[in-house]
Amino acid sequence: MSSDQAAETGAVLSSILAGLDSLESDRALASPRQRLEFVDAALTAAGRLTALATTLLGEADAQDAASVETALVTTSWLAERHRLTRREASAMVHEARALQTLDELREGCLRGDVNPQQWRAITSVLKNLPPELGPQEKCAAERTMVSYAQQFDSAALARLSRHLLDVVAPEVAEASEAERLERDAAGAERNRFLAFSPDHHGSVSVRGSLPLPSAELLMAQIDACAHLEHRRALDRLDPRAEQMTPAMRRADALIWIAESAALHRDAPAHGGDRPRVVVTMTQEWLSGQLESHGLLPSGESISPSDLRRLACDADVLPVVLGGASEPLDVGRAHRLVTPAIRAALSARDQGCAFPGCDKPPVQCHAHHIQPWFAGGATSLDNLVLVCPHHHRVVEPTRAEPHHRWQIRLNSDAMPEVVPPRIVDRDQRPRRHQRFRIPDRRGAPRAEPVLVSIL
């Protein structure tokens, strides 16, 4: 590229930025057709500019421009200059390097014939071509995929690898199907990952890639658990109740699988101790004198309501801190709900105590009716089993009692739920049907007696 051509590139980019700066924001009088034309033109321009930016980044990386000018590698310069995370900058550099090696695809992207989503799918397909293909077959494959971009979206393009071989190298496609499957399986094992990304607003995004058989097993387990997440309980009458989508039920199922492993201590020891979530809080909060948040080891805060729920059935490890927040004394961890109490609780409640809920004891939390942190005792007369969903429903809040769901033990020492007035104006207590089943003599079921605990 000559100096004149380089100057022209800079001038064109400057004019694009100037044009965007001069764009009027008032489009109130635009017709529906004009609005669609605006969207169409903007998306086409955005795709071509993305391709141009990726191409320019690849050229700068190939010339090691960042190192020469700033003494930083391309990824570090990109992250610092454009306020990107290291992962985001690395992904952009990886895309740029891949596009640099694919001339026909790059030209199609710059013309606007291939959008960014399509080119990423095409790059993935071309990367996984059999290694025995020669340069001519690889060029033909690239040309064919670019032509397919006029007919197929990114998802369809990603599925065309088998058909692509039939077109550009039928003899290889016929002979290497088994090898391809083995190669794909090996690649899936090699590229498996699971990543967690906090959004700093109370959620964590989960991304990952699993080998197909393992993923099928996980999906089957989650779908089986999610099927049970359809609420058939009394709280469905509450107009404020959360409407569960299939995606939300799958998320709850994954959480339940993790909670089940924690409850049964299935996970191996880590760092000399069983896996646990440590929440830091003040003594004033623990004693119920202060409404505050908890602090996780990652530095993220959790809400008071989540902290109250976690404190129901947890280990407590008192730590005395000095003036500079250094640990001065660490107490001995003790289980709030002992195995003996848990067994007796399971025998009494036989699952979630919320009317209409069929979750078994292994899927339930031990909820303190009078919160433990507010002085409630850890005993059968202050405990009840509730599933994770209904634990959130009955957890005490600052709302007045007639505005929230309440759970308590009745005179027979059996759980009952009091709905809010928005559900029942008279707030009549409701029992789960399992607590209304009489024994063989026709008398109400008696309090279970725990004979032995192993």
Answering whether pTM is above 0.75, one says: no
Lowest mean pLDDT among 212-221, 291-300, 363-372: 291-300
In a domain, 103, yes or no: yes
Using CB atoms within 10 Å of the CB of residue 189, give its burial: 0 to 12 exposed, 13 to 18 middle, 19+ buried: exposed
The pLDDT, as a whole number, for residue 293 is 55
The pLDDT, as a whole number, for residue 82 is 93
pLDDT at 285 over 60: no
In a domain, 371, yes or no: yes
Question: Where is the domain boundary, 129, 155, 190?
Answer: 190
In a domain, 246, yes or no: no
Q: Which tokens sit at 126?
A: 């071309």
Cα–Cα distance measured from residue 415 to residue 405, given in angstroms and rounded to the nearest whole number: 13
In a domain, 151, yes or no: yes
The pLDDT, as a whole number, for residue 305 is 66
- What type of residue is 148? Y
Q: How many CA atoms lie within 13 A of 92 on its CB side?
A: 24
In a domain, 21, yes or no: no
Cα–Cα distance measured from residue 55 to residue 49, given in angstroms and rounded to the nearest whole number: 10
Lowest mean pLDDT among 46-50, 200-204, 349-353: 200-204
Average pLDDT over residues 97-121: 93
In a domain, 119, yes or no: yes
In a domain, 67, yes or no: yes
If pLDDT is split at 50, 70 and 90, which confidence band does 245 have?
Answer: confident
In a domain, 384, yes or no: yes
pLDDT at 441 over 50: no
Domain extent for 179: 42-190
Using alpha carbons, list the distances in angstroms from residue 429 to 101, 289, 406, 414: 71, 30, 9, 12
Using CB atoms within 10 Å of the CB of residue 52, give its burial: 0 to 12 exposed, 13 to 18 middle, 19+ buried: middle
The pLDDT, as a whole number, for residue 412 is 81
The pLDDT, as a whole number, for residue 165 is 75
Structural domain count of the chain: 2
Residue bearing the bigger pLDDT, 32 or 441: 32
Question: Where is the domain boundary, 166, 190, 214?
Answer: 190
If pLDDT is split at 50, 70 and 90, which confidence band does 454 have?
Answer: very low
